[in-house]
């Protein structure tokens, strides 16, 4: 059983939701995010409900790459070992390409892919030293195909992260290190709260319960919730561009 779990972007959304689910399962938590006030509130909530678990907090801006390595290693030293690291921190901002908002798209690309690369590097250094661990890359159903308009950069970063995780998985074949790519559909968080077209969206509690149940299985790759997103993703791969454009 993976007893000690590190989650980035744990102050809100899927990160906080997964922390609640893992805490209910008796797991020790290493939680990090930029918003330390929200982390402290979450720790107070979980410690009151589950006093038997250890919860450690650290401030982390994942775009500060040196800090990523420092924080991950500090957690490892504190707990002695890290059994699972969930690369979850990300943002959903974006603008249609070529409309004068390069800085917005660059921020999304940097946070969702380059910073995720730093997290994967730091996690894998720890797992290689331990010769054990479970790396979880939080991608998205949007990784399956290109998305139009403001979602174009976001979808591209999630596709990049999914490919990165698969490459790491290839490196780890035959070792005690597992790598999972998780591709959530629409789970109600701040990233998609304002979307008018968010089919099959579920509330964060339902979504995070499904996420943790899936992560515990340690699949190579999985769409969450499995129904209907496994089927939807298969259909998306074959849709002509005209049909795909009408989905946005």
> Tens of pLDDT along 158-206?
999 999 999 999 999 999 999 999 999 988 776 765 666 666 778 899 9
pLDDT in tens, 203-237: 899 999 999 999 999 999 999 999 988 898 888 88
CB 155 within 8 A of CB 147: yes
Q: Is the pLDDT of residue 244 over 80?
A: no
Catalytic residues: 154
Other beta carbons within 10 Å of 37: 8
Tell me: pLDDT of 248 over 60. Answer: no
pTM over 0.85: yes
Give the structural domain span for 234.
4-247
Sheet holding 28-33, edge to edge: 55-59, 28-33, 4-8, 84-87, 133-138, 177-184, 221-224
Task: Quick: pLDDT tens for 26-36.
Answer: 999 999 999 99
Listed residue (151, 69, 59, 172) closest to 117, CA to CA = 69
Confidence of residue 115 (pLDDT cuts 50, 70, 90): very high
**Overall number of domains in the chain:** 1
How far is 73 from 171, CA to CA, in rounded Å? 22
- For residue 158, give the CATH number of its domain: 3.40.50.720
């Amino acid at each position: 059983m993976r007893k000690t779990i590190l989650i980035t972007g744990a102050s809100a959304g899927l990160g906080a939701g997964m922390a609640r689910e893992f805490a209910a399962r008796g797991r020790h938590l290493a939680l990090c995010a930029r918003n330390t006030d929200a982390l402290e509130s979450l720790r107070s909530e979980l410690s009151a409900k589950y006093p038997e678990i250890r919860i450690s907090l650290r401030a982390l801006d994942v775009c500060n790459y040196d800090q990523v390595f420092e924080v991950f290693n500090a957690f490892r030293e504190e707990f002695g070992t890290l059994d699972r690291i969930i690369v979850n921190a990300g943002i959903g901002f974006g603008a249609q390409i070529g409309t004068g908002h390069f800085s917005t798209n660059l921020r999304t690309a940097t946070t969702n892919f380059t910073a995720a690369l730093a997290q994967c590097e730091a996690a894998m250094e720890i797992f290689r030293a331990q010769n054990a661990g479970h790396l979880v890359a939080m991608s998205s159903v949007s990784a399956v195909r290109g998305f139009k308009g403001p979602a174009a950069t976001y979808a591209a970063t999630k596709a990049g992260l999914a490919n990165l995780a698969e490459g790491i998985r290839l490196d780890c074949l035959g070792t005690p290190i597992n790598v999972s790519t998780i591709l959530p559909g629409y789970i109600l968080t701040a990233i998609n709260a304002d979307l008018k077209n968010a089919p099959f969206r579920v509330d964060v509690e339902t979504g995070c319960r499904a996420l943790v149940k899936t992560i515990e299985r340690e699949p190579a790759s999985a769409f969450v919730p499995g129904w209907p997103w496994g089927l939807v993703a298969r259909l998306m791969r074959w849709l002509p561009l005209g049909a795909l454009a009408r989905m946005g």
